[in-house]
Structure 1
Amino acid sequence: MAFLDVTNATKKFGGFIAINDVSFSVEKGARHAIIGPNGAGKTTLFNLISGLILPTTGSIALEGQRLSRMKPHEIVRIGMARSFQKVNVFPRKTAFENVQVALIANRKLQFNPFHAAAGLFGDEIMQLLEQVRLGGDSGRRAGELAHGKQKQLELAVALAAEPKILLLDEPTAGMSIAETLSSIALIRDIVQQRGITLLFTEHDMNVVFEIASTISVLHHGEIIATGLPHEVRANDDVQRIYLGRE
């Protein structure tokens, strides 16, 4: 049994089929990339896996537990965390407070996340911020951070859920070349150090081939290839459809 199993997943919006009979599996400890052109259905697929929308047909399971009828917060509690294409943090809260809110929610504590919680989880928060290279920015408001640092903060918020599997939706989108290189190294180091399984989408092929141990290619809502990076790179259909080679 694979760690994450997507089996014959289909999602229809009216007469439009966004995801069409998609099946693939992610092994424990893998760094699995989902790539494909704009409109291929990558974000819709992530929304299905993380419980934001329900599949029309098919099933999704994490360690044998079916996710298709679970609510997103229930899926988080069994070990899945996710980031989004658009940075999803509280811009008026400090980096420290953003991670603190995530920890309070994950531990099910009865605190109002919009009021001060003093130094609750202080050491743990600082460890997370230092791991994503934001230790020196703990007191800065999230909205004041550069885009790359906001992405790092979002990663710290996701890690606060102590995930077994981490879903990253275009983690380097909008970053400069320097920020992208730094982010690649950061993501690779963290998932290796923590033993986290990684599933991610990304348009930058340099990022994909630097991080991924396995790649699946999505086109018009269907998986057209899955394999090791060198196998996918050499696939004729992938070269023609996605990599732009004839």
Structure 2
Amino acid sequence: MAILEIQHATKRFGGFTAIDQVSLAVEAGSTHAIIGPNGAGKTTLFNLVSGLISPDEGSVRFQGIPLAKMKEHEIVQIGMARSFQKVNVFPRSSCAENVQVALIAHTALKYSPFRDASKLFRSEAEALLDLVNLQADADRRAGELAYGKQKQLELAVALAAEPKMLLLDEPTAGMSIAETKSSIKLIKEIVQKKGLTLLFTEHDMEVVFGIATTISMLHHGKIITTGAPDDVRNNEEVKRIYLGKN
């Protein structure tokens, strides 16, 4: 059963068509990768799915709910969470505080001058930091962490929303080989443990073919093919356009 359905989605910026009649179904519980050359439209597609922008044509449905008129925070509330290519955390706040803010936002807790916000959801924040292997860094400022750990923190912030589906845009971009291996192992473990659907873009083909159950190839804003990893790896058009093989 599809948790996400994109039907004939098109997005234009002036005279440039970034996404061109894309139709795609993401099955619940799958790990679905979107690959393609730079400029293929991957981030634009993610922006459509997560509600940052709206399609000029077509539709996006999550769990059967049309997203066209929903705001970003409303989409998060119904079970979708996203990370970005660039780390998006509060660098001067501690790791625990970053996650606490996300937990407070998710529960829509109102501010009260009689409540010490620093203590709200502390245990829940620590549990999420433990899940992403940052329990020892709970009180460190996020900006002091190595880049790979900042991405782990961003993952904990996303998980605070209790999502059913995670969207990860280039989760290993800028990481060392060691950080990449550690990060992907962690993501795989969390997705399996939480029973999440994962939709991700990634430039590292070793990562893609190592964890994806389904792969879609995007080129010039169009879906070229969708299938199991071996089918996509052996697709002649994919090899010609992206994998650099004849």
TM-score range, shorter-chain basis? over 0.9
CA contact (8 A) 2:97 2:118 kept: no
TM-score normalised by structure 1 residue count:
0.97
Query: Aligned partners of 1:2 and 1:159: how far apart in 2?
Result: 21
> After the TM superposition, which residues 7-86 of structure 1 pair with which residues of structure 2 at under 5 Å, given as runs?
7-86=7-86
C-alpha contact (below 8 Å) 1:36/1:217 kept by paired residues: yes
Aligned letter for 2:105?
Answer: A
Determine the structure 2 residue equivalent to 1:199: 199
Partner Cα separation in structure 2 for residue 116 and residue 139 of structure 1: 17
Percent identity over paired residues = 68
Letter matched to residue 72 of structure 1:
E
Aligned-partner residue type, residue 11 of structure 2:
K
The answer for the alignment partner of 1:245 in structure 2 is 245
Letter in 2 for 1:5: E
The residue that corresponds to 1:230 in the other structure is 230
- Alignment RMSD, CA only? 1.1
The residue aligned with 1:138 is: 138
Q: CA deviation at 1:116?
A: 6.0
TM normalised by structure 2 equals 0.97
1:80-100 Cα distance to aligned partner (Å, 9 max, x none): 000000000000000000000
Consecutive unaligned residues of structure 2, counting only runs of 5 or more, are none
- One-letter amino acid of the structure 2 residue matched with residue 135 of structure 1: Q
Distance 1:160 1:79 in 2: 11
Aligned residue for 1:3, secondary structure, equals strand
Distance 1:240 1:143, change over 3 A: same
Does the residue aligned with 1:19 lie in a helix, a strand or coil?
strand
Contact 1:79-1:162 at 8 Å conserved across structures? yes
Shift of 1:2: 1.5
Q: Distance in 1 between matches of 2:12 and 2:69?
A: 17
Q: Distance in 1 between matches of 2:232 and 2:196?
A: 23
Partner of 2:156: helix, strand, or coil?
A: helix
Note the residue ranges of structure 1 that are not aligned, 5 or more in a row: none
Give me the whole-angstrom Cα distance separating, in 2, the residues matched to 1:226 and 1:236. Answer: 13
CA deviation digits over 1:16-37, x for unaligned, max 9?
1000000010000000000000
Q: CA deviation at 1:111?
A: 2.8
Separation (CA, whole Å) in 2 of partners of 1:216 and 1:118: 43
What SS does the corresponding residue of 2:24 show, helix, strand or coil?
A: strand
Aligned to 2:95: 95
Provide the residue aligned with 2:190 in structure 1: 190
Q: 2:152 and 2:67 mapped to 1: Cα distance?
A: 27
- Whether the 8 Å contact between 2:5 and 2:62 is mirrored in structure 1 is yes
Aligned to 2:148: 148
**Mean Cα deviation higher: 103-112 or 22-31:** 103-112
The equivalent of 1:170 in structure 2 is 170
CA deviation digits over 1:47-105, x for unaligned, max 9? 00000001000000011100122111110000000000000000000000000000000
How far has the Cα of 1:118 moved from its partner?
A: 2.6
Q: What SS does the aligned partner of 2:69 have? A: coil
User: How many residue pairs end up in the alignment?
Assistant: 244
Q: Is the 8 A contact 2:33 2:215 kept in 1?
A: yes
Once residues 73 and 174 of structure 1 are traced to their aligned partners in structure 2, the CA distance between those partners, rounded to angstroms, is 28
8 A contact 1:104–1:111 mirrored in 2: no
What is the identity, as a one-letter code, of the residue corresponding to 1:230?
D
* Superimposed CA distance per residue, residues 117-157 of structure 1 (whole angstroms, 9 cap, x where no aligned partner): 13211111111001000000000001000000000000000
